[in-house]
Amino acid sequence: MTDVVLKMTEFKGFTSSETFTRLPNSFFSKLLAEMDDLGELKVALYVFWRIEQMEAAQRILSREDIASDADFMRGRPVAELDAALEKATRRGILLRVGSDSGGLFVLNTPRGRAAAEAIEKGRLTAAADSQNHPPRDVPNVFRLYEQNIGPLTPLMADALKDAEREYSAAWIEEALGEALKRNIRNWKYVEAILKGWKERGRDEGRNQKDPEKSTERYRKSQFSEYLDEGN
């Protein structure tokens, strides 16, 4: 096999506004010491990352999902990917299911095992999602807050983490946009919008045709208590 030399670029460091991918403790306490193949390690970490970003109930990746990611595959022959997937499957990190070309993969977690069993028993379609692209590099809630409201404090960071667990990224971004349209840079106001959407539905009572009337309605509603407060 021909060695591919990739040019190393200087990494500027992690930031306080990016999201992190969770890994089980047993990955470090048991598996990491046993893995001696860099390709297997890379593909295992990649699958953890991709599946962690999915919002679907059943989190499944096809071989094609991985092979079509140009950034991950840069300088990596497809045969090397297949060998790495095979090793990760034999070790038990991944489970291969379905009859699609190249196979479908789930993590060997309770959720993944349930999905694999459902596919094998015909209770879940084994077709991979053709729109299952790598996650976009979009601003997360920390970055959105710093860019639009103000500096991030430890207390505020905890509040934003709670919001990320409670609401989708799309909802948070849209609620922040609603507040900014009214020139209100206040997280409690944004949070009040999110709570209102969750309780009454996101489209209830919204007036897109008359922003001024909508703003006045918000100012006279349960949101008014947040307008004169700090972040």
What is the model's pLDDT at position 7? Answer: 64
Q: Are residues 77 and 159 in the same domain?
A: no
Residue 53 lies in a domain: yes
Q: Are residues 31 and 92 in the same domain?
A: yes
Beta bridge partners of 104: 62, 97
Residue 6 lies in a domain: no
What is the model's pLDDT at position 22? Answer: 86
Range of the domain at 218: 141-226
Name the domain boundary from 120, 154, 177: 120
107 in helix, strand or coil?
Answer: strand
Would you write out the chain's pLDDT as a tens digit for each of its 231 residues?
445 555 677 888 876 656 778 899 999 999 999 999 999 999 999 999 999 888 666 789 999 999 999 989 998 999 999 999 999 999 999 999 876 567 899 999 999 999 899 888 877 765 544 456 665 555 578 878 888 898 888 888 888 888 988 988 888 989 998 999 999 999 999 999 999 998 888 765 444 344 444 445 545 455 555 554 555
Q: Are residues 31 and 104 in the same domain?
A: yes
- Which H or E element spans position 95? strand 94-97
Q: Are residues 98 and 153 in the same domain?
A: no
Residue 18 lies in a domain: no
The answer to whether the CB of 106 falls within 8 A of the CB of 59 is yes
Q: Are residues 149 and 180 in the same domain?
A: yes
170: domain CATH number is 1.10.10
CA distance 168 to 20: 16
Residue 80 lies in a domain: yes
Q: Are residues 153 and 108 in the same domain?
A: no
Name the domain boundary from 91, 120, 149: 120
Q: What is the pTM of this model?
A: 0.57
| DSSP-H helix ranges across the chain | 25-26, 32-34, 38-52, 63-67, 70-73, 78-91, 110-120, 141-148, 154-166, 169-181, 187-200, 211-220
What is the model's pLDDT at position 50? Answer: 92
168: number of CA atoms within 13 Å, CB side? 10
Q: Are residues 116 and 149 in the same domain?
A: no
Residue 87 lies in a domain: yes
Distance of CA 230 to the CA centre of its chain: 30
CA distance 147 to 26: 37
Task: Report which of 74, 79, 171 is spatially closest to residue 179, judged by C-alpha positions.
Answer: 171
Q: Are residues 146 and 106 in the same domain?
A: no
The answer to whether the CB of 66 falls within 8 A of the CB of 129 is no
Question: How many domains, the chain?
Answer: 2
Residue 5 lies in a domain: no
What is the model's pLDDT at position 226? Answer: 52
Q: Are residues 103 and 149 in the same domain?
A: no
Residue 49 lies in a domain: yes
103: domain CATH number is 1.10.10.10
Residue 3 lies in a domain: no
What is the model's pLDDT at position 139? Answer: 56
> Pairing mode, if any, of strands 94-97 and 61-62?
unpaired
